[in-house]
Amino acid sequence: MKYYAGLDVSLEETAICVVDDTGRIVREARAASEPGALVQALNQIGLPLERIGLEACSLTAWLHDGLREAGLPAICIETRQANAAMKTMPNKTDRNDARALAQIMRTGWFRQVHVKSRQCRLWRSLLVARRTVLNEMRSIENVVRGILREAGLKLGTPGRAAFAGRVRELAEGVPLMTQLVEPLLEVLASMLTALAGLTKQVMDLVKKEAVCQRLMSVPGVGPITALAFRATIDRPDRFRRSRDVGAHLGLTPARYQSGETDIQGKISRCGDELARTALYEAAHTLLVRSQKWSSLRAWGMKIARRRGMARARVAVARKLAVILHRMWSDGTAFRWGKEPAEGATLAG
């Protein structure tokens, strides 16, 4: 007889359900959401467990590593697939969710999620922290712009370093305006210092990471994109083909096909948002700002002329994902290609 366990993890407590290979519930329990407590609870059940399923969440990587270190067959499964099975339950409770996860483990109807190494998770946390500070700075800057517009003052597009000085210059002659914007400018100054510190951490990490240095040889790819791709992929050997990386990051079109209906929509956006955004920004840099010729840029510009810049950026971002993975797997550098002769260009 084989046994399967489902763990519904919440912040404080985890619901546990164990079923046999016929689907009959054998044991149910609850334990604190900590590796030691879960290992003890599962060992006390005293049954040989074939698979132990955890739904992907913020605590999953920590708990998964702890269960694996204890020799238990823990598996992290995709959230969307788990939710589809849980919707079959009439009532949503932690107990029912654990039962649904146990049945998923028994039937094998799940997609296993790769649990990244601790180092990659820390790198990703650094990038998320930096992006959060940057997004909040933009929000506060927009609030300041809105306050100035109430008095008919148009800020324009000053650089981030010159932003505070320009605001003070405009607000100086307007009563009460300085009192309104000064606290926000002080917050911005503090956040600018924090952003510089986080950016320096990224730069220092990239200088020591050989893989990131190789990825940065691709035009348009800077330290942020290289580290985001490195932290998201973790191990290149988990992808059988390089072109699978684009789909993994949500850069391929979603498709709906049923009978005579066959619709190809926008990109799925089902993968890691951090890496997808970084690749999209790298594609924009390559197409708009890069001055050096490369076969990749020439390919992207050809798409831009035919289908528009927005679609070209997505196509180049997908191509970048494939190229970066292949370079990482093979240990090769980026090949710029040969620029066509001027006569051949004019003829084309």
Q: Residue 48 corresponds to which amino acid?
A: P
pTM of this structure: 0.89
Average pLDDT, the chain: 91
- Would you list the domain boundaries of the chain? 3-107, 118-208, 214-255+270-330
Strand partners, 4: 19, 51
Sign of CA dihedral 45, 50, 56, 61: positive
Q: How far is CA 178 from CA 109, 111, 139, 148, in A?
A: 61, 56, 19, 10
Q: What percentage of the chain carries pLDDT values higher than 70?
A: 98
Tens of pLDDT, residue by residue over 239-295, are 999 999 999 999 998 878 878 787 878 888 888 999 999 999 999 999 999 888 889
What's the CA gap between 55 and 79, in Å, rounded?
6
Is 7 a residue whose pLDDT tops 80? Answer: yes
Q: Which residues, 6 or more positions from 340, have their beta carbon under 8 angstroms from its beta carbon?
A: 348
Is 221 a residue whose pLDDT tops 90? Answer: yes
pLDDT at 347: 43
pLDDT at 89: 73
The least confident of 19-23, 179-183, 342-346 is 342-346
CB 98 within 8 A of CB 7: yes
Tens of pLDDT, residue by residue over 308-332, are 999 999 999 999 999 999 999 999 8
CB 109 within 8 A of CB 81: yes
Distance of CA 322 to the CA centre of its chain: 17
Is 23 a residue whose pLDDT tops 90? Answer: yes
Is 78 a residue whose pLDDT tops 60? Answer: yes
CB 13 within 8 A of CB 31: yes
Is 87 a residue whose pLDDT tops 90? Answer: no
What's the CA gap between 296 and 199, in Å, rounded?
28
CATH code, 3-107:
3.30.420.40
Map tokens 């699978």 to a residue: 244
| CB burial string 27-45: b at 16+ within 10 A, e below | bebebebbbebbbebbeeb
Tens of pLDDT, residue by residue over 123-160, are 999 999 999 999 999 999 999 999 999 889 999 999 98
What's the CA gap between 190 and 343, in Å, rounded?
55
| CB burial string 120-158: b at 16+ within 10 A, e below | bbebbebbeebbebeeebeeebeebeebbeeeebeeeee
What's the CA gap between 14 and 89, in Å, rounded?
18
- Element spanning 5, H or E: strand 3-9
pLDDT band at 341 (very low <50, low <70, confident <90, very high): low
pLDDT band at 200 (very low <50, low <70, confident <90, very high): very high
